Every structure is written in C-alpha cells, then in structure tokens.
C-alpha cells in the first residue's frame, strides 16, 4: 500500500537547515567546512543558567511535566522582564511558556486563525512563518519590503492591500536583514491593526541584540496584540528549546489548551535553568557577546567589497547580514551549493526568505541575496572571506 501523504505536509524546505545537513555530510568526508548559515550563537548558555541546570539535575525533584503553559515562576519572571525592559505590566496569566518560539508560532496560528485566513508578512521574512502558515491552510500575503523601507513593512503597504488581513507577523530585529522597526513605526502598524481587526504578532526573539537602536515591544502599544519571545538568541540557549508568548486575555486559555494537546509541556529542566537567564550575572556575559556580534557585523561589511559586493544595508541588530549578490549570480541557491562544494563555505540562499513568485520578477527576489550569519567566531568569518575572495 502506498503511504498516505497530506497536502499539508508538502511544505517548502527551510534551506538553512538543508544546507546544514549538506555541510555536516561534507564534514564527514573530511572537508573543513565553515558554516555561516545558522543563527546560532557560538557561545553556550550563561554560567548562571548552566549552574541552575546542574542544581536542578542534582536535586531529587522528578523533573516531571509542568503546567501546559509553563512553570508559574518562569511565567512571572517573563512578565517582570517586560516591566523592567519596556515599562509595561504583563500579568502572568497572559504569558505561556513554549518549546522554543517555534512552538509559540504554531500554537498562536492555530489559536487565532482558521484555514483560509490571510496572514501578511514581510518578504524577505523568516521562512518557517510562511511554511507553517501554508501547512495550516492559511493564505500568506507577502509584503514586498526592499531597502527603501529597510526591509520592513509600513502602514502604506498595509493600506495598499485589497482587504485587511486576519493577521500580520512582524519581526524586529528581523531575520534575515537585522533591521529594526522604529518604535513610532511599530506603534503606527499596531494602531492600523487595531483599527482593521488584524491580529499583530510581533516576533521579538532578537531583542537584546541591538547595536544602539531601541527595540520596542508591541505590548507597549496595546495588550490586544501578541508578543513572541525566546531564550534561543540573546540568551544563547538554542538547544534548550524555551520560548514564550504573551497573548491578549481572550486567547490565553485557547493557547493553553492547544499547548497541552500538542506538547503537554516545555522541558522542565530547561524551564528551571531559564529562570537564571534574567539574572544580572547572565546579562554581563550576554552583553559581551552582543559586542562581538557587532564586531562581526562590521567585519563582514568591511570584507564584502573585496568580493565585489557594494552598498549592503547596515543591520541594526540580530546576527545576520543580507547582501545583494546579483553582481555575482542570479541564482543564490546554486551559488551557495557551489560555495559549499568548492570551498567549504556555507551561506544561506535568499530564496529561503523571499521565494520567487511564479511568473513575476521582483527586486526583492531571494535569488539575488544571501544571508551571512555573524553569530560565530570572528576568525571563522575571516577565513570564510579569504576563501570567498580567491574563489570569486
Ligand atoms: C525570526 C525568528 N523567529 C523564530 C525563530 C525560532 O527560534 P526558536 O524556536 O529557537 O525560539 C527563529 C530561529 O532562527 C527566527 O530567526
């Protein structure tokens, strides 16, 4: 009997993960591969987090399931974090702990939208939003965002849509471009969404990794929209898989019920450890990493002209640079595959973030862009550019 295959499962690849798989394969053949394709900090979790994990393991606690919406102490700490960072009161009843922010997105999309609902997002934007929306039967509305708007959506773009979408997902700082939506612009987008009955989901998982510009939370504008956070990026805890959602009161119970059915709960050891991530000692370590990401960004921007790439937008935060490589190729995927094969350098093709629309070319097509991760070590970035320079 043939296996049954759903249409829902027919999602596009997440190319960064595909390239990672190919790179690991190359490594097994003995090639020295330099990977600048993943958004993963080179440093591990802060000392206080690791100590908290060891203490939790050493105690005689069972480390069993927690409440589906997370440990009450962690939910309270996340709420308090919004008060100290953004001056907003967030009741812990609106906070739900999730298995990375990835699980937060699945839960909020299921809780807020029905199949067929239109949800808008920036193009270029994080591929998993588009692919999960697709898999769940939502209609993705691409907002074409070029360098003129620093690759971020605007109220004018929303006004130009034929109808208000059910949802809008924004990310600031963004992946892949690292640009930040200014607080006034985020407020204007939030007001537009409130007026038009659009649920705004603000991906704030790169908060903390900003090079001087303020990063506003959507919760400063209204409790009626959704903020998504994560311990993966600033807190350097990618594999611990802890993220969170802050939702309007009306959605909290529904999301809790979905989380209980989808995941039962988020790993308990990771939740206990994450409590220590908000400590002042952790902040000292983490802020030193942010200074390194900024130096790495500057290194990449300095070296791009050596391979013939000019005028790259300066990212405001996160750990990515997103150059236009159309001077070198009109097929970013083929170019990235060749770079891996021939010189062992792994970059992410722009088509991950801005897939080509059949029948229409656009200057934001991902075929012209690549994403370079600056989350790793400066020496590796420098060596990758040495290789690229002799290669191009
Ligand atoms: C913009 C954005 N949102 C969400 C995620 C998911 O991260 P996690 O599930 O580790 O919190 C990522 C990961 O790279 C990302 O770049």
Residue-wise pLDDT for 250-295, tens only, equals 999 999 999 999 999 999 999 999 999 999 999 999 999 999 999 9
String of b and e for 292-308 (b: at least 16 CB within 10 Å)?
bbbebbebbbebbeebe
Residue-wise pLDDT for 289-323, tens only, equals 999 999 999 999 999 999 999 999 999 999 999 99
Res 358: pLDDT: 77
Residues flanking ligand 1, CB < 6 Å: 39, 100-102, 126, 171, 175, 203, 205, 230, 232, 238, 243
Q: Is the pLDDT of residue 185 over 90?
A: yes
Q: Is the pLDDT of residue 112 over 80?
A: yes
Which helix H or strand E contains 325, and what residues bound it? none
Decide: 87 and 220 in contact? Cβ < 8 Å: yes
Q: What does the pLDDT average to over 81-99?
A: 96
Q: Is the pLDDT of residue 368 over 70?
A: yes
Decide: 289 and 87 in contact? Cβ < 8 Å: no
Res 8: pLDDT: 85
Set out the domains of the chain in order of their start, with CATH numbers. Answer: 15-44+281-391 (3.90.1150.10), 47-279 (3.40.640.10)
Give 380 Cα–ligand 1 centroid separation in angstroms: 23
Confidence of residue 2 (pLDDT cuts 50, 70, 90): confident
Residue-wise pLDDT for 276-285, tens only, equals 999 999 999 9
- The whole-chain average pLDDT of the chain stands at 95
Confidence of residue 330 (pLDDT cuts 50, 70, 90): very high
Decide: 373 and 345 in contact? Cβ < 8 Å: no
Mutate to test the pocket of ligand 1, among 175, 271, 373 (most ligand atoms within 8 A of CB): 175
Percentage of the chain surpassing pLDDT 90? 90
Give 391 Cα–ligand 1 centroid separation in angstroms: 32
Residue-wise pLDDT for 14-51, tens only, equals 888 899 999 999 999 999 999 999 899 999 999 999 99
Q: Is the pLDDT of residue 3 over 90?
A: no
Query: Which stretch of 91-105, 138-152, 237-251, 352-366 has the lowest confidence by average pLDDT?
Result: 352-366
Rounded CA-CA distance 116/107 in Å is: 17
Confidence of residue 238 (pLDDT cuts 50, 70, 90): very high
Sign of the alpha-carbon torsion through 383, 387, 389, 392: negative
Res 60: pLDDT: 67
Give 312 Cα–ligand 1 centroid separation in angstroms: 23
Q: Is the pLDDT of residue 337 over 90?
A: yes
Q: Is the pLDDT of residue 1 over 70?
A: no
Mutate to test the pocket of ligand 1, among 20, 126, 131, 204 (most ligand atoms within 8 A of CB): 126
Ligand 1 atom closest to the CA of 238, numbered from 1: 10
Fill in the DSSP letter of residue 94: G
């Amino acid at each position: 009997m043939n296996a049954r295959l759903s249409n829902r499962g027919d999602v596009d690849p997440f190319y960064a993960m595909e390239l990672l798989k190919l790179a690991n394969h190359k490594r097994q053949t003995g090639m020295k591969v330099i990977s600048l394709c993943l958004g993963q900090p080179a440093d591990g979790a802060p000392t206080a987090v690791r100590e908290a994990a060891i203490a939790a393991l050493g105690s005689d606690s069972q480390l069993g399931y927690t409440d589906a919406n997370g440990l009450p102490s962690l939910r309270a700490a996340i709420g308090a974090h919004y008060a100290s960072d953004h001056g907003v009161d967030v009741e812990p009843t609106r906070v739900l702990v999730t298995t990375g922010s990835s699980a937060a997105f699945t839960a909020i999309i299921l809780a807020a939208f029905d199949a067929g609902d239109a949800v808008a997002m920036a193009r270029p934007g994080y591929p998993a939003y588009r692919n999960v929306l697709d898999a769940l039967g939502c209609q993705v509305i691409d907002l074409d965002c070029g360098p003129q708007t620093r690759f971020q959506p605007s109220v004018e773009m929303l006004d130009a849509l034929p109808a208000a979408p059910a949802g809008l997902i924004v990310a600031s700082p963004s992946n892949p471009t690292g640009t930040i939506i200014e607080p006034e612009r985020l407020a204007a987008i939030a007001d537009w969404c409130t007026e038009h009955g659009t649920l705004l989901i603000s991906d704030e998982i790169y908060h903390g990794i900003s090079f001087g510009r303020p990063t506003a939370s959507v919760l400063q504008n209204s409790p009626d929209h959704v903020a998504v956070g994560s311990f993966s990026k600033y807190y350097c805890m990618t594999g611990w898989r802890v993220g969170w959602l802050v939702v309007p009161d009306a959605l909290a119970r529904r999301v809790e019920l979905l989380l209980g059915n989808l995941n039962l709960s988020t790993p308990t050891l990771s939740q206990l450890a994450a409590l220590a991530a908000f400590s002042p000692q952790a902040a000292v370590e983490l802020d030193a990493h942010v200074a390194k990401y900024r130096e790495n960004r500057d290194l990449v921007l300095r070296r791009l002209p050596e391979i013939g790439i000019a005028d790259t937008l300066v990212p405001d935060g996160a750990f990515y640079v997103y150059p236009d490589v159309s001077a070198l190729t009109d097929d970013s995927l083929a170019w990235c595959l060749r770079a891996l094969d021939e010189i062992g350098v792994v970059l992410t093709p722009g088509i991950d973030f801005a897939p080509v629309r059949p029948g229409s070319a656009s200057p934001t097509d991902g075929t012209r862009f690549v994403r370079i991760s600056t989350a790793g070590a400066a020496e590796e970035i420098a060596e990758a550019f040495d290789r690229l320079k002799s290669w191009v």
